Amino acid sequence: MAKPWESYQAVYVHIPFCVHKCAYCDFASYQIYNEHIMSDYARRLAEEISACTPALPVSPHATVYFGGGTPSVLPLDAMEAVVTALKERGFWQQPAEATLEANPGTVDLDKLQFYRQLGFDRLSLGIQSFQPAELASMGRVHTAEDAEAAIALAREAGFRRISGDLIYGYPGQTAASVRDSLERLLQTGVDHVSVYGLTVEEGTLLAKQVREGTAALPPEDETGAMYDFLMEALPQAGYQRYEISNFARPGQASRHNQVYWHYDPYLAFGAAACRFDGICRETNPRNLTAYLRGEAPEREELSPEIRREELVFMSLRTAKGLSLAEFRQRTGSSFFPLYKEAFAACAERGWIAREGDRIHLTERGMQYGNLAFEEFL
Ligand code: SF4
């Protein structure tokens, strides 16, 4: 039987446009709201997709994910042209999980119905908070009410798989405000929740605000209380933690993101998009003009050691962890002779456990994820 790491299991399309640049954001996204540029971009994307000759077969069940940026700002005819190019090239074969990232305030019922007609069945909404002051300081363009309305409209349009993102640890946030935001999100009945601890990225407005003292991160114990509350409340509400930052109701885990964590090959198109064939990683130019000009991607061949390390730490992000038999099959090496010391160092701190064929991080290990991963590098 074909192994999932022998064919492309996912297709990512990057739409790098946003209504407004959020203060904390270092993603490849541009505050451009010009229909001409977006149409040129969609044309270039369709060209890139049509000209792609994949190194491996594309699985008929490959998931599709339009991320950004804010894909929901793309004009509908431009969106349709990109979707058509994917389908014509055989990269989107129905039925497949197809996710669209959207921001509240950029969708209405007509748009959402159109996305459903195109074949999207999953919506991932960047909500981040339900507190007006927090949304304003983050530079978000929507209100708490917009978020609630977007979820209701998505249900009306037929979306049965809706995810909401929240941030914790942002300047001005408290454990009480995070609790209130989560409660409001759960009241909407979303199927999946992603919770991201803030990291202040260099080059962002937030980094400048923190440096200049106009924004202050919450004290560590307050951020710790936010984390503890989220980790307790989400499972209690029926959302199982299946990855460090992701929680889902039964059957609602993102199949697309699991492709990355299982370290399977994926295709990717658009500015800054990065694809992986199991050995090489190729990254398109991040600069929009360079991408529109058709400049070549950067190609990096990963050594067997790097691939092995990446397989370990991507798998350890998930609750089910890494299968030792699969590790042997994929790398030709046994896990323990290579990582005995790293495993022992993590086990001593209660960060990692072995159950039969699998090793996985414990709840505590997930809290210290990056420190645990460093042991394996
Ligand atoms: S909407 Fe998302 S991608 Fe766009 S600027 Fe904000 S965080 Fe970045």
Question: Has residue 50 got a pLDDT over 70?
Answer: yes
Q: Which pLDDT band holds residue 6 (cuts at 50, 70, 90)? A: very high
Distance (Å) from CA 69 to ligand 1 centroid: 5
Distance (Å) from CA 246 to ligand 1 centroid: 19
Asked if 169 and 198 touch (Cβ cutoff 8 Å), the reply is yes
Work out the average pLDDT over 258-274: 98
Work out the average pLDDT over 277-305: 97
Work out the average pLDDT over 95-116: 95
CA–CA distance, 343 with 192 (Å, rounded to integer): 31
CA-proximal residue: ligand 1, atom 5 (nearest): 21
The pair of three-digit structure tokens given for residue 1, joined into one six-digit string: 């039987």
Distance (Å) from CA 303 to ligand 1 centroid: 33
Question: Has residue 269 got a pLDDT over 70?
Answer: yes
Predicted confidence (pLDDT) per residue in 76-97, tens digit: 999 999 999 999 999 999 788 9
Predicted confidence (pLDDT) per residue in 340-361, tens digit: 999 999 999 999 999 999 999 9
Question: Has residue 330 got a pLDDT over 80?
Answer: yes
The pair of three-digit structure tokens given for residue 349, joined into one six-digit string: 């701190």
Atom of ligand 1 nearest to the CA of 26: 8
Q: What is the pLDDT of residue 1?
A: 74
Asked if 22 and 140 touch (Cβ cutoff 8 Å), the reply is yes
Arithmetic mean of pLDDT over the chain: 96
Q: What is the pLDDT of residue 377?
A: 82
Question: Has residue 44 got a pLDDT over 90?
Answer: yes
Q: Which pLDDT band holds residue 284 (cuts at 50, 70, 90)? A: very high
Q: Which pLDDT band holds residue 103 (cuts at 50, 70, 90)? A: very high
For residue 50, CA distances in Å to 83, 86, 282, 312 come to 11, 8, 17, 34
Question: Has residue 158 got a pLDDT over 90?
Answer: yes
Q: Which pLDDT band holds residue 33 (cuts at 50, 70, 90)? A: low
Q: What is the pLDDT of residue 28?
A: 85
The pair of three-digit structure tokens given for residue 13, joined into one six-digit string: 């399309």
The pair of three-digit structure tokens given for residue 239, joined into one six-digit string: 């959302």
304-377 in CATH: which number? 1.10.10.920
Residue spans in the chain of domains classed CATH 1.10.10.920: 304-377
Q: What is the pLDDT of residue 48?
A: 98
Distance (Å) from CA 226 to ligand 1 centroid: 23
Residue spans in the chain of domains classed CATH 3.80.30.20: 4-261
Q: What is the pLDDT of residue 135?
A: 97
The pTM assigned to this predicted structure is: 0.96
- CATH pick for 4-261 out of 3.30.450.20, 3.80.30.20, 3.40.50.2300, 3.40.50.620: 3.80.30.20
CA-proximal residue: ligand 1, atom 3 (nearest): 69
Q: What is the pLDDT of residue 289?
A: 94
